[in-house]
Copies of this chain bind each other. A is one copy, B any other.
Amino acid sequence: MSSVLSDSLGNSSRIAVLSGPTFAREVARGLPTAVVAASENAETAQRVATLFHSESLRVYRSSDVAGVELGGVVKNVIALAAGIVEGMGLGLNAQAALITRGLAEMKRLIESAGGSPLTVMGLSGLGDLLLTATGELSRNRCVGMALGKGAPLAEALKSVGQVAEGVRAAKQVTALAAEGKIEMPIALEVSRIIAGEITPAQASKNLLARALRDE
């Protein structure tokens, strides 16, 4: 999105990206929330941080626009996967392992785009991923759960009744990964499930069949 804006507006130094673990309902209620404002221009990041900062909303600064943006995209795909695991009844151990490996996929994609590993570990990476993949208010997780229980995509989307960005993002992320030859097996299996090419059970088998190796 920042590339589109900067192409249209012609001045990327005035663009900032705001991201982080933020269920809107909680922000609206004034519950404590922390986000990151990223801009290639330090003054812009500072300006946005100062504008949004309040007693309940803490805004950290970053210069890693690509890393912050990509984290916000990939996390929806991993949240879909976490929902699928939950819908299949595979348990919390499996979910924790999946989210951990999912963050490793996010890290590879972000680094290949010139983003920083520190961003991956931060609020817009890990923070947002864990909210979206484990929080009850997460739409992507809910759609994943319905898929994991065997619902076709159209039905899963209908049951949630809200936009689940991960459904479109899975395809885009998989395309990006293929282009850059980046290993993202979880995103790939999610996109196959969404395309109706395989069942969640087959995807889970594919992921578990990967060979014993160093972490």
Binding site for B on A (CB under 8 A): 20-23, 26-27, 29, 31-34, 36, 49-50, 53, 55, 58-62, 90-97, 99-100, 103-104, 107, 117-123, 126-128, 130-131, 134-137, 204, 208, 212-215
User: Which residue of B21, B59, B96 is within 8 Å of A21 (Cβ)?
Assistant: B96
CB of A103 within 8 A of CB of B121, answer yes
CB of B215 within 8 A of CB of A36, answer yes
User: Which residue of B50, B99, B121, B212 is within 8 Å of A127 (Cβ)?
Assistant: B99
How close is A59's CB to chain B, nearest CB, in angstroms? 7
CB of B213 within 8 A of CB of A127, answer no
Residues of B within 8 A of A127 (CB): 96-97, 99-100
CB of B128 within 8 A of CB of A94, answer no
Residues of B within 8 A of A92 (CB): 21, 23, 26, 131, 135-137
How close is A205's CB to chain B, nearest CB, in angstroms? 10
Whose C-beta in chain B lies nearest to the C-beta of A97?
A: B34
CB of A104 within 8 A of CB of B121, answer yes
Complex A-B: 11 CB contacts under 8 Å: A20-B97, A21-B96, A31-B91, A32-B90, A34-B94, A61-B214, A62-B215, A96-B123, A99-B127, A100-B122, A121-B121
CB of B118 within 8 A of CB of A215, answer yes
For the complex of A and B, 5 pairs with smallest distance between CB atoms = A21-B96, A31-B91, A100-B127, A60-B215, A34-B97
